[in-house]
């Protein structure tokens, strides 16, 4: 126990005690119902290959909850069905490290020195979306709304850039949500539309990298995608340079020059790029669930070249 106590961070209370800890200071928390939370835990490790961090369960009261601990600032951009992100201004009751069963709040997944303390927000978001899709598919067709529409405001109109004449006062500068969805979808697709842009973003998601390290990481992970016979399998430095300049111009990466000689450049994702990758994670699961369809489309594309 003494060894465990030495490893544990200061915010975990000592044996036999529990304390209300402010979120947003050491970590944020993702709160969900116990039912959904245990479904998420059942997906994280076996399906997504993600080891969950510490998880707190509070099954007392009218609404039993699970709390997934995630890195700070996750609450600023979190959006997943069946959950609520707790950032600054909230408190979570944290049990002592040995309290792993009721009564009171306890560790559903206790902190362990050999496991991550916090859960990856990107993989946690994916797990929530997969659980949401499973719950959605269990409904009858009459009950089942279009998933993307179900997550949009029902009656809200969004203002778009005006494209009508000055004489037109019929409110044409406001478009219904379907129009806005199409517009924003095109914006998102533009930001990742580039042969090597996904490779660069995913490589930098592992952490900041110098130019040579980034180039080597991408070259090691590049595989034929099967969509085009002209797909370059070897990233040229000139192509990487152009891709980095575009990503820097569009504020998805930052370039920092190291202050000591030799003056190498170091690249890292911006917070917006990290949010973009998080939002794209559920999308990347779609081809896995429709593998036959994707393969047929890929073969049809090659035949049409």
Closest to 126 measured CA to CA, from 234, 282, 304, 302? 282
Q: Is the pLDDT at 169 greater than 60, yes or no?
A: no
Of the listed ranges 15-19, 134-138, 185-189, the one predicted with least confidence: 134-138
Position 140 in a domain: no
Verify that 111 and 207 share a domain, yes or no.
no
The pLDDT of 240-265, averaged and rounded, is 87
CA count, 13 A, side-chain hemisphere, 178? 1
* pLDDT greater at residue 133 or residue 225: 133
Closest to 231 measured CA to CA, from 215, 188, 239? 239
Q: Is the pLDDT at 161 greater than 60, yes or no?
A: no
Question: Residue 33: its pLDDT value, please?
Answer: 95
The domain that holds 199 is classified in CATH as 1.10.10.10
**Crossing angle between the packed helical segments 197-205 and 211-221, to the nearest 10 degrees:** 110
Q: Do the beta carbons of residue 282 and residue 129 sit within 8 Å?
A: yes
* pLDDT greater at residue 136 or residue 172: 136
Question: Residue 140: its pLDDT value, please?
Answer: 47
Write out the H or E segment, with its range, that includes residue 106.
strand 106-109
Closest to 29 measured CA to CA, from 70, 64, 65? 70
Residue 268 CB neighbour total at 10 angstroms? 15
Dist CA 203 CA 62 (whole Å): 44
Domain boundary among 107, 129, 151: 129
The pLDDT of 40-63, averaged and rounded, is 88
Question: Residue 164: its pLDDT value, please?
Answer: 41
The pLDDT of 235-252, averaged and rounded, is 92
Verify that 197 and 287 share a domain, yes or no.
yes
Position 169 in a domain: no
pTM of the prediction? 0.56
Average pLDDT, the chain: 80
Question: Residue 200: its pLDDT value, please?
Answer: 92
Position 114 in a domain: yes
Q: β-pairing, 65-70 with 174-175?
A: unpaired
Position 171 in a domain: no
Verify that 38 and 115 share a domain, yes or no.
yes
Domain boundary among 78, 99, 129: 129
Residue 137: pLDDT band by 50, 70, 90 thresholds?
A: low
The C-alpha angle with vertex 238 and arms to 235 and 241, in degrees rounded to 5, equals: 95
pLDDT in tens, 73-100: 999 889 888 999 999 999 999 999 889 9
Range of the domain at 6: 2-129
Tokens in use for 160?
Answer: 């778009």
The pLDDT of 141-154, averaged and rounded, is 47
Q: β-pairing, 28-33 with 65-70?
A: antiparallel
Verify that 208 and 118 share a domain, yes or no.
no
Residue 165: pLDDT band by 50, 70, 90 thresholds?
A: very low
The C-alpha angle with vertex 71 and arms to 68 and 77, in degrees rounded to 5, equals: 90
Position 167 in a domain: no
Verify that 121 and 16 share a domain, yes or no.
yes
Integer CA distances (angstroms), 9 to 1, 4, 87, in order: 14, 10, 19
Dist CA 81 CA 78 (whole Å): 10
Beta partners for residue 33, in sequence order: 65
Residue 115: pLDDT band by 50, 70, 90 thresholds?
A: confident
Q: Is the pLDDT at 230 greater than 60, yes or no?
A: no
Residue 138: pLDDT band by 50, 70, 90 thresholds?
A: low
Verify that 8 and 117 share a domain, yes or no.
yes
Question: Residue 160: its pLDDT value, please?
Answer: 39
Position 157 in a domain: no
Position 92 in a domain: yes
Sorted by sequence, the CB contacts under 8 Å of residue 5 that are 6+ apart come out as 14, 15, 97
* pLDDT greater at residue 261 or residue 103: 103
Domain boundary among 87, 111, 129: 129
Position 153 in a domain: no
| Tally of domains within the chain | 2
b/e per residue 38-52 (b: at least 16 CB within 10 A): bbbbebbeeebebeb
pLDDT in tens, 172-218: 444 446 777 788 888 888 888 888 998 899 888 878 899 999 999 88
């Amino acid at each position: 126990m003494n060894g465990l106590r030495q490893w544990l961070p200061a915010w975990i209370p000592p044996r036999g005690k529990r304390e209300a800890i402010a979120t947003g200071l050491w970590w944020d928390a993702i709160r969900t119902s116990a039912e959904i939370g245990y479904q998420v835990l059942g997906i994280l490790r076996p399906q997504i290959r993600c080891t969950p961090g510490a998880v707190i369960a509070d099954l007392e009261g009218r609404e039993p909850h699970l709390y997934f601990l995630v890195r700070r600032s996750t609450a600023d951009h979190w959006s997943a069905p069946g959950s609520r992100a707790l950032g600054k201004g909230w408190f979570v009751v944290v049990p002592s490290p040995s309290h792993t069963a009721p009564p009171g709040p306890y560790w559903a997944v206790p902190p362990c020195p050999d496991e991550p303390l916090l859960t990856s927000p990107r993989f946690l978001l994916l797990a929530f979306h997969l659980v949401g899709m499973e719950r959605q598919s269990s409904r009858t067709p009459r009950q089942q709304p279009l998933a993307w529409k179900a997550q949009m405001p029902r009656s809200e109109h969004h203002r778009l850039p005006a494209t009508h004449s000055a004489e037109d006062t019929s409110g044409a500068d406001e478009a219904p949500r379907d129009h806005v969805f199409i517009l924003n979808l095109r914006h998102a697709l533009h930001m990742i539309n580039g042969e090597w842009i996904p490779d660069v973003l995913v490589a930098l998601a592992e952490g900041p990298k110098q130019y040579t390290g980034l180039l080597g990481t991408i070259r090691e992970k590049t595989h034929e995608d099967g969509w085009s016979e002209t797909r370059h399998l070897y990233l040229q430095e000139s192509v990487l340079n152009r891709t980095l300049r575009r990503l820097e111009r569009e504020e998805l990466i930052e370039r920092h020059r190291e202050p000591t000689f030799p003056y190498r450049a170091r690249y890292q994702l911006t917070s917006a790029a990290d949010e973009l990758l998080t939002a794209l994670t559920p999308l990347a699961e779609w081809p896995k669930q429709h593998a036959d369809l994707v393969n047929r489309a890929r073969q049809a594309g090659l035949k049409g070249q």
